Amino acid sequence: MIVVTLNEDADPAAVRRALVARGLWVETLETSGRVTHLAAVPPSADVDPGTLLAIPGVSDVAATPSRHPRVDAHPTAVRVGGVAIGAGAAPVLLAGPCSVESERQIFEAAERVARAGARFLRGGAFKPRTSPYTFQGHGARALGWLRRAADAHGLAVVTEATTPEEAGAVADIADLVQVGSRNMASFGLLAAVGRTGRPVMLKRGMAATVEEWLLAGEHLLVHGAPAVVFCERGVSGGGGSTRNLVDIAAAALLAHVHHLPVVVDPSHGTGRRDLVVPLALAAVAAGAAGVLVETHDDPGAALSDGPQALSTAELARLAAALGVHAPDERRARHG
């Protein structure tokens, strides 16, 4: 919020016009029936409060200080596992199965996603599941499979830690430690993940505001995370035709206003295989640095979230649509 104080002889309507002209939504404040202040409130565009002092009639400008200075100072692009993510870099494809289901499955998945042009292999070893009676992941041993599968195909690894205890083991093998949406505000977990010193991919909580999401990033940075890649994966709502409501504007806001590296997960976001590609394209058009998608060689047999997994052929189409290239092609083009 920004509050400007008016001079005694200011024309409040003129000052208001000048604020609106800068993209600010303005509320009028009165003292004894006279307009004395104007407040710029959300969803105002981003402006530097200092510049408002130049408006005739404005005597003073006060603003709420940022609550997340480390996030504000975060670079707009980062390099993780040898891959640049953020403004100026090519779109990054992070792909793989929802869960690591077996050593063989993840090796085959790595081969396929690498060939499609993905740079990161995803796959859950520790799975947060709504029901206690469904597959909860293979745990620690899946981490080794995941790392070796990725290494075999020149991929970086992103995988989730769901408790502080898991943070160390995950950080030992992951290039990017994922904090899931259900745990975005589990501050003990954020602290533990931050302390590992690994870059983090922070998914937005299902009911989190953008400000709460940025503050969760601040928790990570305060505790030692060297970098945070934000991941929009849909918030609750939307009325059921899609699994969640993908907030593409939030991704645009992080990319273009906060200048942060942000990716989008259209798989969880839509829950629909037939919408993953359009949403992935929308995300990148809006400024996202990449997309995180679920793939499976046999989606029907997936131990979790099969309906939203892309088949290998669909993954290839997505990669083509994004202009993402496999290593050989990359070499051929740039080498």
| Site for its own copies, residues 111 to 150, rule: CB under 8 A | 126, 128-133, 136
Please state whether beta strands 2-6 and 34-41 pair in parallel, antiparallel, or not at all (unpaired): antiparallel
Closer Cβ to its own copies, 148 or 223, answer by number: 223
Question: Segment contacting its own copies (CB under 8 A): 42-50, 117-125, 139-147, 151-159?
Answer: 42-50
Residue 270 lies near its own copies (rule: CB under 8 A): yes
74 part of the interface to its own copies, by CB under 8 A: no
Query: Does residue 12 have a cis peptide bond before it, meaning omega lies within 30 degrees of 0?
Result: no
Let me know: does 92 contact 201? Beta carbons within 8 Å: no
Tokens coding 73: 């100072």
With beta carbons less than 8 A apart as the criterion, state whether 231 and 246 touch.
no
169 in contact with its own copies (CB under 8 A): no
- Cβ-Cβ contacts under 8 Å for 303 (sequence gap 6 or more): 98, 99, 101, 135
Compute the least distance from the CB of residue 91 to its own copies, in Å: 12
Q: Does 259 bind its own copies (CB under 8 A)?
A: no
E strands in 53-181: 58-63, 77-80, 83-86, 92-96, 120-122, 156-160, 176-179
**Does residue 25 come out as left (phi exceeding 0), alpha (psi in the -120 to 50 range) or beta?**
beta
What 3-state DSSP class applies to 143?
helix
Contact status: 159 vs its own copies (CB under 8 A): no
Q: Least separation, in Å, of the C-beta of 97 and its own copies?
A: 13
Name which position in 57, 117, 261, 299 contacts its own copies (CB under 8 A). 299
Q: Report, in Å, the least distance between residue 108 CB and its own copies.
A: 17
Residue 292 CB, shortest distance to its own copies, in Å, is 16
Segment lying near its own copies (by CB under 8 A), choices 28-36, 104-112, 140-148, 152-160: 28-36
Contact criterion met (CB below 8 Å) for 259 and 214:
no
Cβ 256 to its own copies shortest distance, Å: 6
SS3 of 328, please? helix
Q: Does 313 interact with its own copies (rule: CB under 8 A)?
A: no
What number of chain residues touch its own copies (CB under 8 A)?
115
Query: Which structure tokens are listed for 21?
Result: 């002209």
Choosing from 17, 79, 141, 331, the residue that interacts with its own copies (CB under 8 A) is 17
Closest of 231, 238, 295, 242 to residue 265, by C-alpha: 231
Calpha distance 273→98 (Å, rounded): 13
Instruction: For the CB of residue 153, give the shortest distance to its own copies in the complex, in Å.
Output: 25
Rule CB under 8 A: choose which of 85, 100, 250, 319 binds its own copies: 250
Yes or no: say if 236 and 207 are a contact pair by the CB < 8 Å rule: yes
Phi, psi values for residue 264, rounded to 5°:
-125, 145
281 sits near its own copies (criterion: CB under 8 A): yes
Q: Does 320 bind its own copies (CB under 8 A)?
A: no
Alpha-carbon Rg for the chain, nearest whole angstrom, is: 22
Stretch that binds its own copies, among 98-106, 113-121, 142-150, 294-302 (CB under 8 A): 294-302
Q: Check binding of 77 to its own copies (CB under 8 A).
A: no
| Residue 55 C-beta: closest distance to its own copies, Å | 10
* Cα distance between the two ends of the chain: 50
User: Which residues within the stretch 183-222 sit at the binding site for its own copies (CB under 8 A)?
Assistant: 183, 185-189, 192, 205-212, 215, 218-219, 222
**Binding flag, residue 332, its own copies (CB under 8 A):** no
- How far is it, in rounded angstroms, from Cα 224 to Cα 200? 10
- Tell me if 101 contacts its own copies by CB under 8 A: no
In angstroms, what is the minimal distance from the CB of 178 to its own copies?
14
